[in-house]
Amino acid sequence: MRQRKQTCLSIILSLLLIAGLLTGCKGTGQLPKLLPRSETSAQTEAAAYESYRENTLKVQQDFDKRMEELFLSEVDNSLITLHYTLADPSALGITDYDRTLGSYTVEDAKNAVKDAKAVKVQLDAIDKRLLREDQLLTHTILSSYLNTMISSEGMELYDQPLSSSLGIQAQLPILLSEYAFYTRQDIEDYLSLLTSIDTYYASIAAYEKERSDAGLGLCDISLDRIIKSCNAYLIDANHSFMAETFAERLNQVEGLTQEEKDAYIAKNLAAIDGHFVPAYKSLIESLTSLKGTGLNDKGLYHYPEGKKYYEYLVNSYTGTSFQDIPSLKAAINAQMLDDLTSMDKLLAKNPELAKQMYSYSFALTEPHQILENLKSQCQMDFPSIDGYECNIKRVPKALESILSPAFYLTVPIDRPQDNSIYINNGITSTNKNLYSTLAHEGYPGHMYQTLYFNSQNTANIRKLLSFNSYSEGWATYVEYYSYGLDNGLDKNLSQLLKHNAAFTLSLYAMLDISIHYEGWDLKQMAEYLNHYFRISDGSVISTIYYDIVENPANYLEYYVGYLEILNMQKDAKKALGSSYSDMEFNRFLLDLGPAPFSVIRPYFNEWLVRQNRPAANGQ
C-alpha cells in the first residue's frame, strides 16, 4: 500500500564541515627521485597521512551515525511502517510513538517536501570522497530519493490515495489482519490503530473533497468502482476475516490466559463494529456526495499539470535510466515487438501451441511443493538463502474480486523467519499460473529478494526507501525465468507463455503512457486494441482503461523494472560473451539492492568492466 507518512525525513543531518587535509610536499626539483627523503619530510608526510586517515574515519563514523538517526526518526512516523519494519522496536530504544493511523493531508505532503529539502542540503555538504563504498551507495540512493520527492512540490493535490484494488481502503485491512502479535503491547497497539481508522478515513475524505474543489476530483465511474470495493468491508464483526485472524494471532502471544484472550476478542469486535465498519460507511457517504463533481474521466494528461505530475510519477515509481518518457516508450515498443516476433516464430513452427495455451497445466500445483521445487532449481543461477519459513494464506473470499492475484508481505528486519504469501483463489489458477506466481512472490521473487537484501544490508535507512520498480521488476524478471525451468511444460509452450506474458505487460505499460502522457480517451484505446489485437469486448476494454486511469504508472513499475533488468542482462551477455554468468549477474543486482535504475546503471557499467578484466588479462 502506498501510504504517505505523517512527516518525512524530519531529522536534519548535522552539517559535516570537512576540510581536505591531504597535502603533498613540494620538492626543490634538484634531487634525483630515487634519493631518500629527509627525515623531516617523511615525518611531515606521515603526520599529514595520519591526519587525513583520522578525519576520514571520523567522517565515516559520523555518516553511519546520521543514517541510523535518520532511520530511527523515520521508522516510527507510522505505526504500520514501524511494526512491519521492527518486531521489537524497544531493542533500538523506540518506546514512544504515535499509536494511530495518523492523517492524510496536503499539509503532511508539504511538510515532507520541506523536510526533504533540509536533509538534502545537509547531505550535499558531506565530502563523498571520504565515504566507504557502501556509504557512497547509500548517499547516492538517498540523494536521488530526496530529489525525486522534492520534484513533487506544488502538486500535492494530484496524489490519488483511493482506487478500486490498489487504494488504501482496499489494502489497509489486509495489513491490519496480518499485523503480527509478538507481545501484549502489539495487541494494544493494534486495537489503537483499529479504533483510529474512522478518523484516518475522515482525513482522506476531506482530502478528496479538497481535490474535487480544485477541479481534480475522481470521476463518477472511478467513484463507483471505489465505493464497490468499500462495500466489501461492511462486514459482520462476528463472522469476518478481521475477527478470525485476530483470534489466531492472540495464540501467538505467550502467557495470555483465556480470560485475557476473551477480553481482547471483545475489544476487537467492538472496534470493528464501532470504528472499522463506520469508517467505511462514512467513506462511502463522502465519496457518494462527490459524484458529479469530477469532470475528468480520462488520464492525468487532461489536468492542468497532469503531464508534469505524470513525469514525476514515472520517475518516482520506476527510477528509470531513460532520459524522458518518449525514449522510454520507444524502448517499451521495441521490446514488445521482440516478444511478438518470438511468438510468431514459435507459432509458425508449431501452430498447435496456440490451442495448448488454453489447456496446459504445470506439473506441480501444491504451493509448498512449488516453492521447494523453485528453490532447488534456482540454486544454479541464484545465491542460496536459508533459515526462513513461509506461510501460504488464502485471500478471504469476500475480498477476492477487489484484491491482487497474489502478494507477499515483507518481514521485519529482526524477524526474517516470518513470511506470508497470500493467494487469491478467485483469480489465480492452480494449474495455469500458480507456479509462475509463486516464483514472482516467493522464490526467487519478492520473499527471496527481501530476505537476501536484509541479510546483506547494513544501512537500516535503505529499508525505508521504497523503490518498487526494482522490486517488482526483479519479481517479474524471475517470474519469466521460471518458464524456462523443468516445470512439466513443453519447452516451446513455456517460451510462448513467457513471451505472451511479457507482451501483455508491455501493452499495459504502453497504454499507461498513452493515456496519462498523450491523452488517449476510452474511444482511442478501444480503436487501438480492436485494430491491432482484435480486442472488441466493451466491458474488458472499459475495465482496462479505468484500471489504468485510477493507478497511473502502476504497470510501469512492473514492466520498466523488468525492461531495465532485461536490457542490462542483454548488455552483459554481449560484452562478456562466454564468460557471462547468470549467477554473477543476479548476484550483482541482489548485492546492490533496491535503488533507482538511474543509480544502478553506472554501477552496472563498472561491474561490466570488472567482469571483463580477467578475460582481458588472459585469466
pLDDT (tens digit per residue) in 519-576:
999 999 999 999 999 999 999 999 999 999 999 999 999 999 999 999 999 999 999 9
Would you list the domain boundaries of the chain?
39-158, 168-297, 560-616
Rounded distance between C-alpha atoms, residue 616 and residue 619, angstroms:
8
Confidence at residue 226, expressed as pLDDT on a 0 to 100 scale: 97
Rounded distance between C-alpha atoms, residue 412 and residue 31, angstroms:
63
pLDDT at 480 over 60: yes
The chain-wide mean pLDDT, for the chain, equals 91
> What is the band of 3 on the pLDDT scale with cuts at 50, 70, 90?
very low
Confidence at residue 403, expressed as pLDDT on a 0 to 100 scale: 72
Confidence at residue 178, expressed as pLDDT on a 0 to 100 scale: 87
Element containing residue 391 per DSSP (H, E)? strand 391-394
Name which of 1-10, 264-273, 344-353 the model is least confident about.
Answer: 1-10
| pTM for the predicted model, two decimal places | 0.90
Name which of 244-248, 319-323, 534-538 the model is least confident about.
Answer: 244-248
pLDDT (tens digit per residue) in 447-471: 999 999 999 998 999 999 999 999 9
> Which of 196, 496, 477 lies closest to 360 in space, CA to CA?
496
Per-residue pLDDT averaged across 191-213, rounded? 98
> Which of 1, 53, 43 lies closest to 22 in space, CA to CA?
53
Neighbours of 309 (CB within 10 A): 23
pLDDT (tens digit per residue) in 380-412: 999 999 888 899 998 888 778 767 888 998 889
Higher-pLDDT residue of 138 and 14 is 138
Contact predicate 445/474, CB 8 Å: yes
pLDDT at 590 over 80: yes
Per-residue pLDDT averaged across 211-223, rounded? 98
Confidence at residue 38, expressed as pLDDT on a 0 to 100 scale: 56
Confidence at residue 25, expressed as pLDDT on a 0 to 100 scale: 39
Confidence at residue 23, expressed as pLDDT on a 0 to 100 scale: 28
pLDDT at 499 over 60: yes
Contact predicate 277/234, CB 8 Å: yes
Confidence at residue 39, expressed as pLDDT on a 0 to 100 scale: 59
pLDDT at 11 over 60: no
Rounded distance between C-alpha atoms, residue 456 and residue 449, angstroms:
11
Name which of 35-44, 61-70, 106-115, 409-418 the model is least confident about.
Answer: 35-44
> What is the band of 430 on the pLDDT scale with cuts at 50, 70, 90?
confident
pLDDT at 136 over 90: yes
pLDDT at 12 over 90: no
> What is the band of 47 on the pLDDT scale with cuts at 50, 70, 90?
low
Alpha helices in 178-240 (DSSP H): 184-195, 197-213, 220-231
| Beta-sheet strand order (sheet of 406-409) | 391-394, 420-423, 406-409
State the sign of the Cα–Cα–Cα–Cα dihedral 84, 88, 91, 96. Answer: positive
Confidence at residue 53, expressed as pLDDT on a 0 to 100 scale: 86
Confidence at residue 42, expressed as pLDDT on a 0 to 100 scale: 64
Rounded distance between C-alpha atoms, residue 27 and residue 50, angstroms:
21
> What is the band of 40 on the pLDDT scale with cuts at 50, 70, 90?
low
pLDDT at 2 over 50: no
Cell numbers for 450: 527481501
Element containing residue 115 per DSSP (H, E)? helix 106-124
Q: Which backbone phi and psi does 359 adopt, to 5 degrees?
A: -140, 20
Confidence at residue 49, expressed as pLDDT on a 0 to 100 scale: 63
Question: How many residues can be counted in the chain?
Answer: 619
pLDDT (tens digit per residue) in 264-285: 999 999 999 999 999 999 999 9
> What is the band of 614 on the pLDDT scale with cuts at 50, 70, 90?
low
